[in-house]
A and B are shown apart, each in its own frame.
Chain A
């Protein structure tokens, strides 16, 4: 028995481009390696921050874990059970314990439904409240929980601001009493003053319900704030993972270092942002066999071009995938 609520092993998702028959026969098929052989775990009650730049595969990872898309290869162990072996029906039941909060609350809430309908639906689907009165009571409870007034219950999404909508999206995720909540950039569409409110809400709810979070974001200061442990992704690979303090105080991987140096801090006394790496983010389409950072990395040598580095334990749970660290 481990305390790992979620364990991902060698998870891989390839998308095949130009996969029609003509292209395949002409040898023009290409492979987009969105998530390429990644492994990580999330302990019960903790927050794992998954950070990386656009296109690095962090959202794909979130969707794979909820099985909104099916992986090409790998294992997802949830609560000591192999999630990928679940039947459709079993998976549907299991969705009760894994919930998602999406980035854009303007797109994730149905504009034609009232808040009552939006929050009542998961209760209905999972048979948590059979009649309207029960549902109503629970929905009002949920609104209160996320800090919205009860008078909002019969309104439509367009009547709410971005921050309020995100509260509704969070309430919907909580409606079914989940254990694991995956937040896919849940605060990146919000203004700073509202972002701070929502981040606090995530914290409060975690304490109250002992929730486990997989928090996906590109904003390093958000990740720093919310996470217990962090995994840094670059072009489909996890390059470094460890406790939040270690990662931010003493980053090891050249990419993590570069990422941290590029953040402009809201303090003129701090050093200005700079980019240590050269060139642009590599493409995940038919990547070369070696390290994905090869070609931009100041430490790169011959081995980096041919052998993809594995995550190596550097002690106390800090893993780095680099030949030169």
Chain B
């Protein structure tokens, strides 16, 4: 079996804040094979974005600190790389699409100049060459009459078009790995459908692997092969998409799936997860989910559960599975 493109191993990231110590990512391990699409799901503050950003080494240190663990991309630990090597990796090998294109793109430069900047820096293209390539890229992501949009500013595009520009920029230097951090969250559902389809076709066409971050279970159900569920900085469940949806093992995953109102039938009351997400500055001992879990027993309150394989390739971290 080939080595995975990306493997995250026991990654723990802590932030030293004025208010206290915040462990944003705690012992997270997963790996992504070539051509695989991996969805990292979780609610706000669960640590999915921090995980993604650490892969690009975009975590500011301080206040952040990589306490332990490693991220191996194509066999090399990225925490061992120096800044020059890192810069060579960003964009060329790993590219990222962010949630809010309006704040990720620069409002005072034209779209064309921003994308060609990346091309000229990373691929050493000349100005006219870069310009030509940008037109190709904008065409690729479905922006109508790209040659005339080249000199437009970000605010002149609609939300969906901005996200296309972001994708064009991410694809500009032929990366082999794409990280998409909530790329459709700010979009309307019809535009979301278009962008998801676009990402899927780009992944196929350029034979990329994908790490997809989202809080929307509907989106992962259709955009990803493998799913990792995060709760309060821990990865609580990991497995193939069909397995997770058909046979969820962790009480949090079960609760999350039950919380979603369904489109095919109307129920009077939903089954929410009770209580609130724990305070991450002062998390409960043991399993982080125990105060909200209906099945919690004494052991859950003292001992943190570790990953157990419940079916081939399907892991969950819960004491109930013993």
Q: Which residues of A contact B (CB under 8 A)?
A: 53-54, 161, 163-164, 191-197, 199-200, 203, 218-222, 224-226, 244-245, 248, 258-270, 272-275, 277, 280-281
Contact = CB atoms under 8 A, between A and B. Distances in A.
Interface centre among B188, B216, B263 (most CB of A within 10 A): B263
A245 B267 CA distance: 12
A161 B278 CA distance: 11
B19 interface: no
Nearest to A161: B276
Given A224-B263, A266-B218, A275-B197, A192 B43 contact: yes
B22 interface: no
B186 to A, nearest CB: 9
Contact of B188 (A54, A194, A265, A266): A54
Given A265-B221, A268-B245, A274-B197, A53 B259 contact: no
B256 to A, nearest CB: 6
Interface string B151-195: 000000011110000000000000000000000000011111110
A191 B44 contact: yes
B276 A163 contact: yes
Given A200-B272, A265-B221, A273-B222, A225 B194 contact: no
Interface centre among B190, B255, B273 (most CB of A within 10 A): B190
B260 interface: yes
B260 A221 contact: yes
Contact of B260 (A192, A194, A244, A262): A192
A273 B192 contact: yes
Given A53-B188, A161-B277, A224-B263, A267 B245 contact: yes
B82 interface: no
Interface centre among B197, B218, B261 (most CB of A within 10 A): B261
A164 B245 CA distance: 29
Contacts of A54: 159, 188
A155 to B, nearest CB: 15
A254 to B, nearest CB: 12
A265 B261 contact: no
Given A224-B266, A267-B245, A275-B194, A218 B272 contact: no
Contacts of B160: 280
Contact of B256 (A163, A193, A200): A193
Contacts of A248: 263-264
Given A221-B218, A248-B263, 11 more contacts: A163-B276, A192-B256, A200-B270, A263-B263, A264-B193, A264-B222, A268-B241, A273-B196, A274-B197, A275-B194, A275-B197
A194 B189 contact: no
Contacts of A194: 272, 276
Interface residues of B, number: 47
Contact of A274 (B193, B260, B277): B193
Given A192-B215, A273-B196, A266 B221 contact: yes
A224 B193 CA distance: 19
- The 4 closest A-B CB pairs, nearest first, are A196-B272, A225-B261, A264-B218, A196-B259
A220 B272 contact: no
B41 to A, nearest CB: 10
Given A192-B215, A196-B259, A268 B242 contact: yes
Interface of B: 43-44, 158-161, 188-194, 196-197, 215-219, 221-223, 241-242, 245, 255-264, 266-274, 276-277
Nearest to A187: B261
Nearest to B196: A273
Nearest to A279: B144
A219 B84 CA distance: 45
12 contacts: A164-B276, A191-B215, A196-B271, A197-B274, A220-B263, A224-B262, A225-B267, A258-B190, A264-B218, A268-B222, A275-B193, A280-B158
Contact of B257 (A220, A222, A266): A266
B272 A266 contact: no
Contact of A273 (B158, B193, B269): B193
A192 B192 CA distance: 18
A178 to B, nearest CB: 22
Contacts of B263: 220-221, 224, 248, 260, 263, 265
A198 to B, nearest CB: 9
Interface centre among A191, A245, A260, A270 (most CB of B within 10 A): A191
Nearest to A296: B190
B218 to A, nearest CB: 4
Contacts of B257: 266
A137 B315 CA distance: 50
Nearest to B279: A161
